[in-house]
Amino acid sequence: MTKRNLQAHSPESPPDWFWVKGLHDAHITLVESFEFPFDYDRYTRGKNTYDRNCLTLTLDAAGAMFDTSVKAIRLYNYKYLSPETALEGHGTLWWIGNRLTVSDGRFELEIHLYDGEAFPEELTVRLRFERAEVER
Encode pLDDT of 41-54 as tens digits.
666 666 666 788 99
Tally of domains within the chain: 1
Boundaries of domain holding 116: 3-7+18-135
Q: What is the pLDDT at residue 11?
A: 47
Percent of the chain residues topping a pLDDT of 90: 57
Q: What is the pLDDT at residue 4?
A: 37
12 is a domain residue: no
71 is a domain residue: yes
119 is a domain residue: yes
Answer left, alpha or beta for residue 49, where phi above 0 means left and psi between -120 and 50 means alpha: alpha
Q: Calculate mean pLDDT across residues 103-128.
A: 90
Cβ atoms of residues 36 and 16 within 8 Å: no
Encode pLDDT of 7-32 as tens digits.
344 446 788 889 988 999 999 999 99
13 is a domain residue: no
What does the alpha-carbon distance between residue 136 and residue 120 come to, in Å, rounded to a whole number? 31
